[in-house]
Structure 1
Amino acid sequence: MEKITQVEADNRERKTAAEAEAREIVAKAEREGLALLQQTRAAAAESGKQLLRQAEDRAARRTEEIRLSAEREAGALRQTAQQHLDQAAEFIVGRVVKH
């Protein structure tokens, strides 16, 4: 009888120890999961920042390309306008002198 009581007590102790170990394993897994989640969020935020910086750099380069192109076109238009202005002035002078 004493032996049965002892075996039952040992079984209860093992069960209690196993439950405590299981709770610790679950708690550890939760802590590690939360840490991994925080790392993933931080990495995603950093990745987002890098993508934004890259997009801003591309936008700045494209803006510069557009500005340079606009300056070239404006210069060509000014040159064309100047040529037409000279031709118009000669035409007007010629008309005035003939009359």
Structure 2
Amino acid sequence: MRVLVDIVSAAKLGPDNSPLEVDLPPESTMGDLLSYLLLTFGDPLRKRLVRESDGKPFVVFVINGEKAELSDLLSPEDEVLIVPPIGGG
């Protein structure tokens, strides 16, 4: 099944800063997608998405406009957005 993945960041995942199309097995979860992305992009992406102390994500996942959990199932043609924390002052 194919899903479209984008990240709210100056550095995008896909070529030319476009969203990335990812092929996953049927019945994949958001957690499966995260594992795939971390294996594919390695430490540079890991540092942007998960805490070093416990390996848990510190970003928000959104599937088709709805906040998602790692256990949520993905469907073909889903649009996934990864939203890092935003700070300011």
| TM-score class, shorter | under 0.3
| Larger relative helix fraction | 1
TM-score by length of 1: 0.15
TM-score by length of 2: 0.16
Higher strand share: 2
User: Quick one: higher RCO (CA 8 Å, sep 6+), 1 or 2?
Assistant: 2
